[in-house]
Amino acid sequence: MNTQALQELAHRARSERRELLAVLGTDAGQRVLNRLEARFETNLPVFQGKPGQYDALDAMRRDAHREVFLVIRRQLELARQEETQQHTDDEYTH
């Protein structure tokens, strides 16, 4: 992949993170995320039940739910870091 294509991908990723932060980075957005995480029980271990009697499909489903929220939380964290860095950079240029 060439440099320009990589730069475009990075720009798109930053733009998508900014949108995610604008929507879910608010207090209301955080409450929605918290309710969804509770609804999908992402705080519970993936494997439920007695050892040796785990439901593999239930574990896969629970793991997939957890992964979605991990990605969302990580993207919000990166967006906040980028926002902080941008403010810092702006202070040095003005």
B/e letters for 73-94, b = 16+ CB within 10 Å, e = fewer, are eebbeebeeeeeeeeeeeeeee
3-state SS of 27-45 is HHHHHHHHHHHHHCCCCCC
For the segment 33-90, what is each residue's pLDDT rounded down to a tens digit? 999 999 998 888 888 888 888 888 988 999 999 999 999 999 999 999 999 888 676 6
**Stated pTM of the model:** 0.79
The predicted pLDDT at position 45 comes to: 86
